[in-house]
């Protein structure tokens, strides 16, 4: 069986080279062909079967959409990914209506691009792999049925259950532009993580917060299920003033059912969750904190005198002064750099650890400093 053929078409050579080398990192056997224009792409497509066309929307000569239609005459099952710097809805609608499986703006998010290539060609997903196994399939089905019923009831375009890494665990429906799904979810999970910090600061007992984006392709509403999962709702006019409260109440209701399913599968947050940490607030009460919010232990201060003492004991040195005198005697050399002073000179100046320094006038430089622990 021949390797899937990917035809890359863009008049910017650096973009073609970047995509070509990025595709080679996937590890899949791919026949990757480059073309700088639509006309040359047509010539390449006449010589081989094309499985995936990756084309710029604005090409010199024929457009990316025109190229797609011409190449599809010989390759009706071909999938298409468009690259565009166009942000106008009219242009994006034209690409989506033409059958694009994904649209990427420049600069291209490479992880999203590689994932779209794997999905388009039906390859094993290595960038964002799906969960496998009978149990995983069963819980996805149960959750999908729950989310599907909620989506129909509330007349939304899509409902997602996502984890704290931005991975979709269950879904019902699709976004208007699914090509940017991974980037969108990643950005939303940044908000999700920041919300935990706010909850901790104000000592919130329950995760009673939600985030609303009104307008654009969809209204978006994000609410946390627990410290590892969140629900995302997308649809038209869901955040209108006359619907927002009803929408959020519906999400909070279905959140409880989703949380129960996750707990039954050992995926949800429980009181004995060993991955959480306990911290004491100002009132002396103990609260559970998500693992990524646990503060790192501060580095301990160094007691310089004790450090010297320990080093001396390890080396069998009883007298620190004798150690330095012996070292100078063995080497037979004294520092000749005028900017460096010896330990003996430092001692005379009162710079030895544990002694008060004397006042020195004029310039004085040293190669290091000793700090006594307070």
Which residues fall within 8 angstroms of residue 283, CB to CB, at 6 or more apart? 203
In this prediction, residue 111 carries a pLDDT of 80
In this prediction, residue 293 carries a pLDDT of 39
Judge whether 122 and 93 are in contact, CB under 8 Å.
Answer: no
Judge whether 157 and 172 are in contact, CB under 8 Å.
Answer: no
| Separation of alpha carbons 205 and 199, rounded Å | 8
The domain defined by 134-264 carries CATH number 3.30.450.30: yes
Judge whether 233 and 252 are in contact, CB under 8 Å.
Answer: no
- 252-286 burial string, b = 16+ CB within 10 Å, else e? eebbeebbebbeeeebbbeeeeeebeeeeeeeeee
Judge whether 258 and 264 are in contact, CB under 8 Å.
Answer: no
> Which tokens is 106 given?
């420049």
- 212-224 burial string, b = 16+ CB within 10 Å, else e? eeeeeebbbbbbb
DSSP state of 156: -
Give ∠ CA 284-289-293 in degrees, rounded to 5: 115
Mean pLDDT per 10-residue segment, the chain (374 residues): 90 92 90 94 94 93 92 94 82 86 84 86 74 58 83 90 81 80 80 85 82 89 88 91 89 88 69 37 38 44 53 54 62 54 66 54 46 45
In this prediction, residue 136 carries a pLDDT of 56
Report the first-to-last Cα separation within the chain, whole angstroms. Answer: 74
| Separation of alpha carbons 342 and 211, rounded Å | 64
| Separation of alpha carbons 192 and 29, rounded Å | 38
In this prediction, residue 364 carries a pLDDT of 47
Distance of CA 318 to CAs 293, 314, 332, 372, Å? 47, 10, 22, 20
Rg over alpha carbons for the chain, rounded to the nearest Å, is: 32
Q: Identify the CATH number of the domain defined by range 5-121.
A: 3.40.50.2300
Domain boundary assignment for the chain = 5-121, 134-264, 299-374
In this prediction, residue 215 carries a pLDDT of 86
Sheet with 102-105: list strands edge to edge. Answer: 31-35, 5-9, 52-56, 79-84, 102-105
Question: What are the DSSP E strand ranges found in 41-195?
Answer: 52-56, 79-84, 102-105, 158-163, 168-173
Q: How many CB atoms lie within 10 A of CB 140?
A: 17
DSSP state of 134: H
């Amino acid at each position: 069986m021949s390797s899937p053929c990917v035809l890359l078409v863009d008049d910017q050579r650096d973009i073609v080279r970047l995509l070509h080398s990025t595709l080679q990192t996937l590890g899949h056997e791919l026949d990757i062909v480059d073309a700088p224009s639509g006309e040359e792409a047509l010539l390449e497509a006449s010589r081989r079967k094309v499985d995936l066309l990756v084309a710029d929307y604005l090409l010199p000569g024929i457009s990316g959409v025109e190229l797609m239609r011409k190449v599809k005459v010989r390759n009706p099952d071909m999938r298409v990914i468009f690259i565009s710097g166009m942000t106008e809805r009219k242009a994006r609608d034209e690409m989506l209506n033409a059958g694009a499986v994904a649209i990427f703006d420049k600069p291209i998010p490479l992880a999203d691009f590689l994932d779209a290539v794997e999905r388009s060609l039906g390859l094993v997903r290595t960038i964002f792999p799906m969960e496998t196994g009978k149990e995983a399939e069963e819980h996805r089905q149960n959750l999908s049925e729950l989310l599907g019923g909620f989506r129909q009831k509330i007349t939304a375009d899509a409902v997602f259950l996502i984890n704290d890494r931005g991975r979709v665990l269950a879904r019902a429906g699709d976004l208007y532009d699914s090509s940017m799904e991974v980037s969108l979810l990643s950005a939303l999970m940044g908000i999700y993580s920041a919300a935990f910090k706010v909850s901790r600061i104000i000592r919130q007992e329950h995760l009673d917060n939600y985030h609303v984006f009104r307008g654009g392709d969809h209204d978006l509403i994000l609410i946390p299920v627990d410290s590892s999962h969140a629900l995302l709702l997308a649809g038209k006019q869901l955040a209108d003033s006359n619907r927002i409260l009803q929408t959020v109440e519906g999400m909070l209701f279905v959140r409880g059912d989703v949380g129960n399913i996750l707990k039954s599968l050992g995926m949800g947050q429980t009181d004995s969750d060993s991955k959480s940490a306990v911290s004491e607030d100002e009132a002396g009460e103990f609260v559970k904190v998500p693992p990524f919010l646990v503060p790192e232990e501060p580095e301990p201060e160094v007691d310089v005198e004790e450090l010297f003492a320990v080093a001396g004991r390890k080396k069998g040195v009883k007298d620190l002064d004798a150690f330095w005198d012996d070292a100078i005697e063995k080497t037979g050399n004294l520092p000749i750099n005028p900017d460096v002073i010896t330990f003996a000179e430092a001692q005379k100046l009162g710079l030895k650890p544990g002694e008060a320094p004397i006042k020195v006038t004029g310039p004085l430089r040293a190669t290091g400093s000793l700090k006594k622990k307070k």
